[in-house]
Structure 1
């Protein structure tokens, strides 16, 4: 949105605001958007969505530059592109979230043989001899990741290209709530982050 101010005697003036893209060398590019005068408001809305999409699709390597022009203004319209806070132009961006990445099957029991998956693994505090100071829980599923990320042939090619192959690794963890006796025999509750492997993939 851009603030367009007209003189009192030119309130019924008809004009159109144009926005063009500007190339790196200062050349005028494609039409980015246009808006006819809305007499109900001083702020005029120009939709530059198509230009922003083309810019993003091209890799967004250079800044997106826009040039505003007013057709039919004849010097009777002032475009406020700076100055006070109330007159600064506004660009509203609506970002679309990236598509959800499909994860491997959570558990190895349901995964294709040899593929990256989460293997359940239970840690018993009693077996470790820690049950004399850990009140709860008696143990927990720590889990770990195993399996291959690529089939054999593609893994060889990928390893040759990147000098390493992708590894099956944890991509999501959860915390473990632990209740235990402290040094002064007080009972302490603590949440230990990233103690449980929840999901595995090939990052």
Structure 2
């Protein structure tokens, strides 16, 4: 039996120069169209120095003494999800209002808006969007959040370099270390 194991997480505070537009089809898996080619496909959105995807280089990582435990509000509420959507590229789950996070090194409480997944097929299609020391994981979960002070106005949040925060969780498949009872 295989179990999914969360192996790491990253908090990415999305900058003002961000990679987002509904008019552009974002591609991941073709040699001529993937995350490395985004800056040439759409330089007005994808040519900044602080944006996804990133490769986390362990040897260059430095501790952040401001980090605290995250507090998750209403994540245990079984009615917290308002919709589940197949976008054609991923599964996107939207939260109702009142689901929130705080802590880490976030400047205030953030409203959790939605989560979505990035996954591969184990061979030709990569899994996680981000990498650690060049390693791509089979799946990555992103929880997208907006500053609570913006009251759900994502247009304002996008203009603020700390207006959106995405929590990313790498998921790895492994054989179970214990027997089923």
Q: TM-score, normalised by structure 1?
A: 0.23
Bigger Rg over Cα: 1
Q: Report the TM-score when normalising by structure 2.
A: 0.25
Q: More relative contact order in 1 or in 2 (CA 8 Å, sep 6+)?
A: 2
